[in-house]
Amino acid sequence: MTIRGYTAPLSPDGRAGIVPPPPWHYSGDFLIVEYHADADAVRALLPPELEPADDPGAVAAIFADWQSCSDDAHELVDPIQSQYREFFLVVGAKHDGQPVSRCVYIWVDKDFAMFRGWIQGFPKKLGSIHMTRVFPVGKATPRMEAGSRFGATCTANDRQIARATLSLSGISKTGPTVNDPPMYNTRHFPAYDGLRPDVFELVKSRGFDREVTEIWEGDAELTLFEDTIEDLQAIAPRDIINGYRFSFGYTVHGGDVVAQHDKDAHR
């Protein structure tokens, strides 16, 4: 008997895999705080194939509340397979002179989203993320209008990672810019018997069928906490650019390998 599946665990019918095969469809709510960090610290997070962005210290702190599914949408009637939240930090860069973006740190609250992120080159870790939600009725919800306030938090390993607040002032003319260019991440998988990785490549994500609501903006605050495994203080906010709140949807089906990193330089 053959065992099969897109990802482990493999099984006779292939259904046990933690992630189904693409395409993957996403719909979600976003709270984004763009800010400036130390430009040299941002540059230190880029691989050799990427150059600093024109605004080299710009960073986007992104909280997202997602619902996702594969083509047959079976996950939507079993919501624990489709719903998750994440918090990630994205920096700008350039590749061959063209603007790109890169996810440098990210936390997510479901195992399937973490595994799926690794496939795409997102360096996901497990965490706990909460965001203010919006509903169309009732007093226990902010409205998408001037004066409404939103909050978001991320913790991991019993440590505070990030906290953000946002007060809406109006509809944005530009929207967020740091994470707007194509995402260039690193797919990395270590070898079983040594430090030289089996997979170490720069990849460009391939997304389509993008949809976005009106983007609201406003004054924002962001704290990255000190007691973390990651050196988040190196890229902590020096000044806040702006905050944004909106909904977004798109589909992912594969990506492109842009370059092979030097595996020997990884040692």
What are φ and ψ of residue 246, in 5° steps? -170, 175
Residue 194: predicted pLDDT:
86
Please report whether residue 204 resides in a domain: yes
Residue 1: predicted pLDDT:
67
Residue 239: predicted pLDDT:
98
Please report whether residue 5 resides in a domain: no
Domain count, the chain: 1
Please report whether residue 1 resides in a domain: no
Its domain, for residue 80, covers 24-266
In the numeric block, the tokens 């050799």 are attached to: 48
Please report whether residue 250 resides in a domain: yes
Please report whether residue 160 resides in a domain: yes
Task: Report, in angstroms and rounded to the nearest whole number, the Rg of the chain calculated over CA atoms.
Answer: 19
In this structure, the strands spanning 199-212 and 239-260 are antiparallel
Residue 195: predicted pLDDT:
87
Reported as a single tens digit per residue, the pLDDT across 246-262 is 999 999 998 999 999 99
Residue 76: predicted pLDDT:
98
**Could you tell me the CATH number of the domain that includes residue 152?**
2.40.400.10
Please report whether residue 2 resides in a domain: no
Please report whether residue 262 resides in a domain: yes
Please report whether residue 82 resides in a domain: yes
Mean pLDDT of successive 10-residue stretches along the chain, which has 267 residues: 92 94 97 98 98 98 98 97 98 98 98 98 98 98 98 97 98 97 97 93 94 98 97 98 98 96 83
